[in-house]
């Protein structure tokens, strides 16, 4: 997480928490002049469109007062979804044995992309099994990690029971 993302998390987490939600993570995307701040929220009873709107209004007020992003930007609020990004080391432990797609900032053993199964987390490293090989990937080197949904072929529903997004 960049310094700016850490600062935004510090600013927004108390407000989001006071509304009864967890700030699952955030992304600050700046492809050109206009940035996008994307907040992912998680709720005990899921996340509705109305919940996203409420969090957006409150987060926008905090951002207007603190003004941590220079220039124009777009604020987006959503649930993490079924194919959720992982932002914090403790989130990895929730998805042991699930398919995962990891992209590193720098190559590790000659590659940056790892698609396999999450085995666990050990002392700051994420353990991923790709084919028959296990890799220990340093958490601080992970640029993006996304849990891939597995559909239950019998009913077409996701097997991830921890996803409460609606």
Domain assignments of the chain as residue spans, ordered by start:
3-78, 82-166
> What's residue 164's pLDDT?
38
> What's residue 1's pLDDT?
64
| DSSP H or E run through 55 | helix 49-66
Residue 69 CB: number of other CB atoms within 10 A? 16
**Residue 112: HSE in the Cβ half-sphere, 13 Å Cα cutoff:** 7
Give the separation between CA 102 and CA 116, rounded to whole angstroms: 9
**Residue 14: phi, psi to the nearest 5?**
-60, -40
3-state secondary structure of 166: coil
> pTM here?
0.83
* Fold of the domain built from segment(s) 82-166: SH3 type barrels. (2.30.30)
**Over 80: is that where the pLDDT of 32 sits?**
no
First to last CA, the chain: 27
Residue that wins the pLDDT comparison between 146 and 33: 146
Tens of pLDDT along 41-69? 999 999 999 999 999 999 999 999 998 98
Tens of pLDDT along 83-132? 899 999 999 999 999 999 999 999 988 999 999 999 999 988 999 999 99
Query: Strand pairing partners for 78?
Result: 40
- CATH (one of 3.40.50.80, 3.30.420.40, 3.30.300.70, 3.10.580.10) for 3-78: 3.30.300.70
């Amino acid at each position: 997480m960049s310094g700016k993302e850490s600062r935004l998390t510090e600013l927004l987490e108390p407000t989001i928490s006071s509304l009864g939600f967890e700030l699952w993570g955030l992304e600050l995307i700046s492809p050109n002049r206009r940035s996008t701040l994307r907040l992912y929220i998680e709720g005990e009873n899921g996340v509705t469109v109305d919940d996203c709107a409420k969090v957006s209004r409150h987060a926008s007020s905090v951002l207007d007062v603190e003004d941590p992003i220079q220039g124009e930007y777009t604020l987006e609020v959503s649930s993490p979804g079924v194919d959720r990004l992982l932002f914090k080391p403790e989130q990895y432990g929730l998805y042991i044995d699930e398919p995962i797609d990891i992209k590193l900032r720098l190559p590790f053993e000659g590659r940056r992309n790892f698609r396999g199964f999450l085995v666990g987390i050990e002392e700051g490293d994420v353990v991923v099994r790709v084919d028959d090989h296990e890799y220990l990937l340093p958490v601080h080197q992970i640029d993006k990690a996304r849990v891939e949904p597995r559909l239950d072929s019998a009913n077409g529903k996701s097997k991830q029971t921890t996803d409460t997004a609606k």
